[in-house]
Structure 1
């Protein structure tokens, strides 16, 4: 391995260490407790070293937001690809959405501006676009399969996402009773919404 490649690997490892440290602080104190100085202390670097990679706390949050949506989209794509039937695909990506949020509540908070996190809305929308598109594409497949045409496909997909986000957000904040039944609730909600959309557009 050449010196250039070695330097790049070190830089990448340092960047990942900073982001990992930020998540550890958030998990322990919430995102309001995150500061550059705390990250530097945790990973045993100087604050100036952290600033060489991220100009501010907000820059760290923006990087984590992008990583979160990349990981979420990948998980949903894998869940969708495991099924041929479009109805099952939508059910699968809904569960994948919940499983991601359950496993990464700190990232989910950053991605959706929870726990006092403030991130550029334009950047959030841009990062979320592949996820939105996946829901929209699978919904379109279902409508085609059912020989139904929707004049508001984008709106229909946003309704699905909004309902899913509502359940997941309430579950993460422990505001739902019988939290162990979240998967069943997501499946029931998805089923009801899909049936409603099919009836509305038929």
Structure 2
């Protein structure tokens, strides 16, 4: 390995340390308590080193959000598409998403339940035409179109329906995260009924 390759590898290692530390602090303490100094203390570097890689906390958060979005997409893409029963694929994809978010509740709260400058435009899903920009919404739209072609789903505005499915799922997630005293059994009942209501609303 040459000097330039070694330096590039070192840069990638430090950058990953910064992102991992920021993600951990964000998940544990929330956005308000995340700071460059805390990140520096955690990885035992000077704040100046961090500023060499990121201009500010907002840029770090943006990177964390983008990595989190990629992880969401990976979890969804791992779900095989059931061509004959697209409703099953919708349920499995949304369940994978819910389970992923419940593993990192503080991160969900920090990113999706706060109006952080520069972040919301990367996670917003309600604009008309957003399915062209958000792969998660596009994937859901594709399943809705498939269900309609199979004669299972009623005629609908596909993008609008996908947006409502995502926002209702976000709503359930936010309550499950905020209401910490809900039992695991009740969580499962709520999630299952959520899917039942959603799918019944799609069927002919």
Q: Same fold (TM over 0.5)?
A: yes
Following TM superposition, by how much is the alpha carbon of 1:30 offset from its aligned partner in structure 2, in angstroms?
2.2
C-alpha change, 1:11 and 1:124, in structure 2 (3 Å) is same
Which is helix-richer, 1 or 2?
Answer: 1
1:144 and 1:50 mapped to 2: Cα distance?
A: 52
TM-score (norm 2): 0.85
1:148 and 1:88 mapped to 2: Cα distance?
A: 13
1:46-85 to structure 2, matched below 5 A, reads: 46-79=46-79, 81=80, 83-84=82-83, 85=85
Following TM superposition, by how much is the alpha carbon of 1:71 offset from its aligned partner in structure 2, in angstroms?
0.3
2:184 and 2:118 mapped to 1: Cα distance?
A: 29
C-alpha change, 1:184 and 1:7, in structure 2 (3 Å) is farther
2:15 and 2:53 in contact (8 A); partners too: yes
1:120 and 1:29 mapped to 2: Cα distance?
A: 18
Following TM superposition, by how much is the alpha carbon of 1:151 offset from its aligned partner in structure 2, in angstroms?
4.2
1:9-20 to structure 2, matched below 5 A, reads: 9-20=9-20
TM-score (norm 1): 0.85
C-alpha change, 1:17 and 1:194, in structure 2 (3 Å) is same
1:191 and 1:96 mapped to 2: Cα distance?
A: 16
Tell me the equivalent position of 2:171.
166
C-alpha change, 1:124 and 1:138, in structure 2 (3 Å) is same
1:94 and 1:186 in contact (8 A); partners too: no
2:111 and 2:119 in contact (8 A); partners too: no
Secondary structure of 1:20's aligned partner: helix
Q: For the aligned residues, what is the CA RMSD? A: 2.3
Number of equivalenced pairs:
196
Tell me the equivalent position of 1:102.
102
C-alpha change, 1:50 and 1:112, in structure 2 (3 Å) is same
Q: 1:150 aligns with which of 144, 149, 155?
A: 155
C-alpha change, 1:4 and 1:184, in structure 2 (3 Å) is farther
2:112 and 2:164 mapped to 1: Cα distance?
A: 16
- Bigger shift: 93-102 or 141-150? 141-150
1:154-184 deviation line (CA, Å, top 9, x unaligned): 1111111111111111111126733443233
Tell me the equivalent position of 1:124.
123
